[in-house]
Every structure is written in C-alpha cells, then in structure tokens.
Amino acid sequence: MVRRHRDTKTRVAAQAGTEKRAPREKRITGGAWRFAGAIGVTGEPPELAMPEVAFAGRSNVGKSSLINCFTRHGGLARTSKTPGRTQEVNFFVGPSPISLADLPGYGFARAPAHVRAQWRPMVERYISGREALRAIVVVVDSRRGLTEGDRVMITFAEDHGKDILVVASKVDKLKREARRKALSALRADVAEVFPFSALSKEGIVEIRKRLESYGRAAVG
C-alpha cells in the first residue's frame, strides 16, 4: 500500500510539473510567430504573400525589443548589449496580417568594416525592390533624436514610396518636460511618431494597431 501511495504521488507530481510547463512554453514561443528566413549580402528574400513592415534604427537603439513586444515573444528577435548583432535582414511571420523584417542596425556596429560596407547596398536593394514592403519603422532613442543615419534611411525610404513611422524608444528614461520637447522635435520632422517603452510597454497597443492596419487594408 505504501508503495502504491508513493507511485501515485510521483505520477501526480509529474502531471503537475507538465501542467506548469505548458504556459511557460506558450509564452516563450509567442504563439505562432516564427522566423521565416533571412537574406545576407547575397540572396533573395522569402516570398511571404502578405504586406510587410520593416524595422530600422541605429545599432542598440531598442529595435529588437520593440519587435519582441510587438509579437509578445520575448526571444523572437535577438537582443544584445553588443551593437551590430543583426547582420542580415531577418523575416518573421505569425498571427498577424503583416510580416516583419528586422534590418541591420546602422551607426556603430561591432562587425568588420568590409561587412558593414556591404550592409547598405543590401538594405537598399531590399527597400527599393521589395514590392510587399509598405512601411519602415525607424526606431529612435528619444534622448538623442534623429541621427544622420536615421535621416538617410527616411529619405531613401520615402524616395521609394514607403511610409515612415518613427518610434521614440526609452521614453521612460525622460522626465516629463524633456519628453515633451523630445517628441515635439521629432514631430516637427516626421508625421507619425509613437512614444515607446520596452520596460512599461507604453505605446505598443497603438503601434500594433497602426502597423496591422496595412494588413487589414490589403484584405479590404
């Protein structure tokens, strides 16, 4: 009897452990969001048959954190304290009417100079030739404002008919008056600016709604 009792407790404990792991696995995988391919300095992007939105920004500005918040997936896009980890255009698809593209960060990047020199033509080919690409989200550190790299990206993308949305990251690090001035300065240059904090998730609902409107427009 004692042995059977112990066996029963073991089975119950095992079942309980399995039940506890399931929600954690769901949170890690982010539902159906998945990596859908990449292009480096050569190659063609995957055909995903849906409107696409790309994320651009200076290295280590919070681009990957924004993608992970957007998808509710803590590890979909790689985040690192080392600038320049993303060295390809990475594509993601999931339970959304749009696909996402994560562009290499510009500005300082811990990569060989010859590799950095190849990024720009690779990104330019993608932006100018990707018919499905509807908009580019330029992620800007709210404490720094638009950099020269941001302005080059915005001009090039607009010249090729892509919408531009600026996400002002790290707004939680600014006091109220500094935040107001920072956002006002950005809105003087760009029509659509969304404040965002990866820490508090401020702005992510509005950002998600705006970006997914591209997919709903295509269906409609």
Q: pLDDT by residue (tens digit) across 10-41?
A: 443 444 443 333 333 233 344 589 999 998 76
A 10 A CB-CB count for 49 gives 8
| Mean pLDDT, range 116-139, rounded to an integer | 89
pLDDT, one tens digit per residue, over 35-56 is: 999 987 677 889 999 999 999 9
- What sign has the CA pseudo-torsion 187, 154, 148, 137? positive
Asked if residue 73 and residue 13 are part of one domain, the reply reads no
Asked if residue 114 and residue 43 are part of one domain, the reply reads yes
Asked if residue 74 and residue 9 are part of one domain, the reply reads no
Above 50 in pLDDT, residue 147? yes
Q: By mean pLDDT, which of 54-68, 71-85, 137-151, 168-182 is the weakest?
A: 71-85
Predicted pLDDT at 101: 96
Asked if residue 40 and residue 26 are part of one domain, the reply reads no
Asked if residue 66 and residue 24 are part of one domain, the reply reads no
Whether this model's pTM surpasses 0.95? no
Asked if residue 177 and residue 78 are part of one domain, the reply reads yes
- More confident: 60 or 51: 51
Share of the chain above pLDDT 90, in %: 61
pLDDT, one tens digit per residue, over 87-108 is: 789 999 999 999 999 998 887 5
Above 80 in pLDDT, residue 80? no
Asked if residue 17 and residue 82 are part of one domain, the reply reads no
Asked if residue 11 and residue 79 are part of one domain, the reply reads no
Asked if residue 99 and residue 41 are part of one domain, the reply reads yes
**Where residue 114 falls among pLDDT bands split at 50, 70, 90?**
low
Which domain does 26 fall in, by range? Answer: 1-30
Predicted pLDDT at 90: 93
Asked if residue 132 and residue 174 are part of one domain, the reply reads yes
174-189: b (≥16 Cβ within 10 Å) or e: beeeebeebbeebeee
When divided into structural domains, the chain yields a total of 2
- Domain CATH code at residue 127: 3.40.50.300
Asked if residue 74 and residue 148 are part of one domain, the reply reads yes
Q: How far is CA 30 from the centre of its chain?
A: 14
| Mean pLDDT, range 46-67, rounded to an integer | 93
Asked if residue 8 and residue 90 are part of one domain, the reply reads no
| Average pLDDT in the chain | 82
Q: Cα dist. 63→25, 38, 51, 58, 105 in Å?
A: 24, 17, 20, 8, 8
